[in-house]
Amino acid sequence: MPDYAQLSQTLHALCQGETDSVALMATIACELHHAHDLSDWTGFYRVTAPETLKIGPYQGGHGCLVIPFSRGVCGAAARTGQPQLVPDVDAFPGHIACASSTRSELVLPVWNGAGKLLGVLDLDSNTPAAFTETDVTELTRLMADLFRNAE
């Protein structure tokens, strides 16, 4: 598990004053990917049209290019506005296997301070049950802070 105090300090320093959501996503994906030992794919899917997510900045192997809100773990997070902590992706109805090696996943909706859904943060792991409620809590707080003024 990452040292969230250190990660928060680093990301706040790197992202200070930035309002461009893609720039924020790129920086966060890089830092979080290197900070979370069990995340094999770390990135964002951006809302680009109604009910549509498209791949954004990420670290790791190739991801799916387009995900409708109606499909998969990312779609569920975007559709419901709720974090999706999935310890076993094979047990998640409609899971989209962008990588066949993925065993667990954590997806968080990402909002700006005006309440606009910008996209979702997606962490995939080749390890079962790699993510915890602590990850959910800490990353939800961090995304709210970092994307507060994002466009």
**What string of DSSP letters covers 95-118?**
---SSTT--EEEEEEEE-TTS-EE
CA distance 101 to 112: 32
Burial 7-25 (b: 16+ CB within 10 A, else e): bbeebeeebeeeeebeebb
pLDDT at 72: 93
pLDDT at 94: 74
3-state secondary structure of 56: strand
CA distance 88 to 33: 20
Q: 4-146, superfamily in CATH?
A: GAF domain (3.30.450.40)
Instruction: Give domain limits for the chain.
Output: 4-146
pLDDT tens digits in sequence order for the chain, 151 residues long: 899 999 999 999 999 999 999 999 999 999 999 999 999 999 999 999 999 999 999 999 988 999 999 999 999 999 999 999 999 988 887 777 777 788 999 999 999 999 999 999 999 999 999 999 999 999 999 999 999 999 8
CB of 41 closer than 8 Å to CB of 34: no
Which residue in 136, 129, 87 sits closest to 108, CA to CA? Answer: 136
pTM comes to: 0.95
